[in-house]
Each structure stands twice: as structure tokens, then as C-alpha cells.
Amino acid sequence: MTFDLSSLTVTGIREGLAAREFSAVELAESAYARIDALDADVHAFNSLSRDLASEAARAVDALVAAGGELPPLAGVPVAFKDNMNLRGTTTTCSSRILEGYRSVYDCTAVRRMLDAGALPVGKCNMDEFAFGSSTENSAFGPTHNPWDLDRVPGGSSGGSAAAIAAGEVVLSLGSDTGGSIRQPGALTGTVAMKPTYGRVSRYGCVAFASSLDQIGPFSKTVEECAQTMNVICGKDPMDATSLERPAEDFTAGLRGGVKGLRVGIVRDLLDLEGCDPRVRRSVLDAADTLAGLGAEVGDVDLPSTQYGLPAYYIIGPAEASSNLARFDGIRYGHRAKDADDVLDLYLRSRAEGFGPESIRRIMIGTYALSAGYYDAYYGQAQKVRTLIIRDFERAFADFDVLLTPTSPTTAFKIGEKAADPVSMYLSDVYTIPVNLAGIPAVSVPCGSVDGLPVGLQIMGSHFAESTILRAAYAVEQACGFDPVPPLVKALAGGRGTTAS
């Protein structure tokens, strides 16, 4: 038997396994049946790990047979962005420079998911080294949005988002440096969270910008997002930037309501040129919904965030230039042939292995860090970052959560912005300030425009994940957004993948 994973939740899977309504092996088979049916069109995955998923499923079924207590993610099919290491699998970052590389260790967040009983289905497509907002900058071709196969799923974690929207897995992990979880979450109608910097270990995730990167979950529902956070958060001695925090159950307060919650609409961001008026209206409607549920809604300005985009595109590339220097064709990955000497080998290997967007960002970052320009560019960008942090601190003195759109538009057509990098960069105008400040934020669907999802970004102060998840849950329940695209519904209804 195979099952429609888009109709199953984490809790439903755990209860179904305990009641022996289905097996973990059947759940793994269901994931691969959906991938076989859809992924030639969607291209959410770069690689599949059928043997590892089958091994994990058999272990769960053995635990059920023995009457043991099931771990929190028992039997849940999951996927990981292809910049996260899992021993024995390929980790490509969707780049030719890592051609043939097989991981020799595990990413901590990945390992925590697997230790919680999850089934590792495979690795998801992404913009090369997370450089992009559309998942078109992949050496292996673009990912397509399940809501409209002619449109992008966002990026850089577009494959992880599309895998959830397509019902190929139940949970996935992405990484977020300037919006790379939340923006694809908005464009694919999934719940997508960037935790507080340091909440989740970055160990084993290939670095883009080390002071900005953070791993977080994609899911169909806010509750499943919270359940995933329960598993992946916590101090890791392998990551010096991970923070010591008491264990927290992020599901505990979800149904607590929003009465008295102080909600700030970030007006100066909401009114930015380039925001689709229909997206703006959906966000304001969500704010009205929260007000109707008892929240205290007001306006707030974050004046320095208007400089977030240029600051980010100095800080991010500068850190990327440093981090990507290790990919040289010597120890692993693509190596050029017929080089004249070591320097020529470096130059040829990197020129052949990196795609155009990666080369662009490496060059920008190297320039910003070069002698004579460090203070003028990188130093100034860090000062802007400090101003943005202070703006958020002032705002959170008056409000518990802040609202903006997650993306200024719904999903755009594949190729529409490929020739205009600046237009593409503007896709992250609402999400970048969050990374610069290191605070948490979640994107939750709040409506649709022309049949395409709209995402609401809910931001909180450091370690306020429980508060923003409670607000997101209230929006989710009130809006009643259906996270299953018509393409997936047609497959489930027409091809018999709902228990066949």
C-alpha cells in the first residue's frame, strides 16, 4: 500500500504507526512513489537515499513490533537541502565544484532528525551554494513550483520547499542566510522558519556566510514546524556559535491565542516600491484577523532596514568569498585537466566548477575585503547592521511580534528575472533584515493571488520562537489556507496514491 503524504501529519503518522494502521516501510515507499510520479516535472531532488530510508523504516517497524516508545518523528519521510552532510551520500550544494563528493560525517541537524526516527528520503535542489532566490542557479537545472510548473519555487532552498508542496515528503530542512527558507516558503504555500541565530547548530552545513546562516524547517502546518524545532534545536559542542538554551517545547503554547499580543505592522517596509498591492492587502487582512482575535495591532517603522539589502550584499559575499576559498580542486570535487602548474590548476578548477552567480558573489566579496576597500565597504556595512539591530530592539520594546510580507510578489516565471540580478536580489528585501539582526521569523501562508500563495512574515525578538509560532498558528487557523496544490490533488485523486 502507498499513501498520500500530503494528507498525513507528523502526529498522524506516529499515531498510525502505533496503531499498526500502516508501516514505516510503506511510508517510505509512498514517498518514493510520489517522487516517481512528480519529480521529473518538479525536480525537487538532486539525489535519493533509498537504502538509508529503507534501513531507517525497518528500524522503526522493529520498534513498533517490540512495543517500544516511538520517537517524535518516527516514520516521517524527510528531505534535506543539498548543502547538509549525511554520511555516505553526495553533498553537492548544486555545484559542479563538488562533483563526486560523498559526505564522511553528519550535519548535526540532520542527525538529530534521524535520531528522532525520521526517514531520510534524499537531498534537495538549491541555488548553487545558496546564492539565489529562485533555485534557477543550480548546476543541475531549476526546480519548478508545484503550484505552477512554469514558475520558480523561490530560493535558495527551493527544492526543500517544493518537496513539501508536492507532497513528496512530510518535513524538510533548508538553510536561511538572507531569506532562503522563508521566501521559498511563501512562494510554495508552506510554513517556513528561520530560528534565532545560534538556536540550531550549523555544523555539517556547508557555509555561505557564517554570521548569517541558520538551519530551519519546512512543513505543511505550523504545528509540524514546531515539532521539528523541538528536535533540531539545542547546544552542539561541534558549533561554537550554537547557544546554550534550556530545552523548550515549541508546541506547548500554540493554541494559547493572541489576545493581548502586541502586533506591529512595519509600515516603511510594507510600503516599499515593488510590493504587489494584492500581497500588501493580504498582509493587512492577516493583521486585521489578528486584531479580531484580540491582538493589539499598531504601526511601527524600522528606518535603517531600507539599507539592509546593500549591507547584506557586501557582508554576505565577503563571508562567502572567504568560505568558498577551500574549494580548490585539490582535496575533493572537480579538478581541471591539463593544468600547467598549481596556480593554473586552482584557476581552471574554480572557473570550470563554479557557476556565474557564484563567481559574481565571490568577486564582489573579494573586492569588498581587498586592501583599501575594507573600511569603505565591509566596515560600513557592519555599521548599518548595528543600526538595524538597534531598530529592532526599539520596536520590540513596544511590540511582541512584527509583520511584513515575506516576499514582495508571488512566484514569478522561470527565467523572468534571470538576466537582472538586482531585480532578483529584491526578492529578499523583507527577509534580509532578520538575518542581519539574528532574530527569528516564520513565513505562514495568509492567502493567495491568482491562485498563487502569499506568505506573511512574523518576526520576534531573540528566542521568541514560541511567540511567533503562536501568532502564526492563529493566522493559519483563521485563514484556512489549503497547502495542497491542484497538481497534487489531481495526482492523489486520479492516480490512486491515497492508499492503493
Give the mean pLDDT of 399-411: 98
Q: Can you tell me the distance from the alpha carbon of 208 to that of 69, in angstroms, rounded to the nearest whole number?
A: 39
Q: Can you tell me the distance from the alpha carbon of 196 to that of 193, in angstroms, rounded to the nearest whole number?
A: 10
Give the mean pLDDT of 344-356: 95
Is the distance from CB of 94 to CB of 139 less than 8 angstroms? yes
Amino acid present at 396:
F
pLDDT band at 499 (very low <50, low <70, confident <90, very high): very low
**282 counts as catalytic:** no
Give the mean pLDDT of 101-124: 98
Kindly name the residue from 23, 95, 138, 156 that is annotated as catalytic: 156
Nearest residue to 31 via CA among 185, 170, 181, 189: 170
What tens digit of pLDDT does each residue of 302-326 get?
Answer: 999 999 999 999 999 999 999 999 9
Q: Where are the alpha helices (H) located in 189-326, listed in sequence order?
A: 222-232, 267-270, 277-292, 308-323
Classify residue 287 as left (phi > 0), alpha (psi -120 to 50) or beta. alpha
Give the mean pLDDT of 221-244: 97
What tens digit of pLDDT does each residue of 272-311 get?
Answer: 989 999 999 999 999 999 999 999 999 999 999 999 999 9
**156 counts as catalytic:** yes
Q: Which pLDDT value is given to residue 372?
A: 87
Kindly name the residue from 6, 23, 49, 81 that is annotated as catalytic: 81
- Locate 213 and state its grid cell: 546562516
Is the distance from CB of 389 to CB of 311 less than 8 angstroms? no
What tens digit of pLDDT does each residue of 12-48 get?
Answer: 999 999 999 999 999 999 999 999 999 999 999 999 9
Question: How would you label 460-472 residue by residue, b for 16+ Cβ within 10 Å and e otherwise?
Answer: bbbbbbbbbbbbb
On average, the pLDDT of the chain sits at 96
Nearest residue to 163 via CA among 135, 204, 200: 135
Task: Name the helix (H) or strand (E) containing 358.
Answer: helix 356-369
Position 466 pLDDT exceeds 80: yes
What tens digit of pLDDT does each residue of 436-454 get?
Answer: 999 999 999 999 999 999 9
> Which of 41-50, 440-449, 457-466, 488-497 has the weakest average pLDDT?
488-497
Amino acid present at 66:
A
Kindly name the residue from 49, 180, 349, 466 that is annotated as catalytic: 180
Q: What domains lie within the chain, and their CATH numbers?
A: 5-305+385-494 (3.90.1300.10)
Q: What's the 3-state SS for 77-131?
A: EEEEECCECCCCCECCCCCHHHCCCECCCCCHHHHHHHHCCCEEEEEECCCHHHC
Q: Can you tell me the distance from the alpha carbon of 115 to that of 166, in angstroms, rounded to the nearest whole number?
A: 25
Position 496 pLDDT exceeds 50: no
Give the mean pLDDT of 203-232: 98
- Locate 376 and state its grid cell: 569603505
Q: Can you tell me the distance from the alpha carbon of 428 to that of 305, in angstroms, rounded to the nearest whole number?
A: 12
High-pLDDT (> 70) share of the chain, %: 99
Radius of gyration of the chain (CA): 21
Contacts of 72 (CB under 8 A, 6+ apart): 10, 14, 116, 117, 227, 230, 231
Position 495 pLDDT exceeds 50: no
Position 493 pLDDT exceeds 80: no
pLDDT band at 494 (very low <50, low <70, confident <90, very high): low
**180 counts as catalytic:** yes
Q: Which pLDDT value is given to residue 164?
A: 98
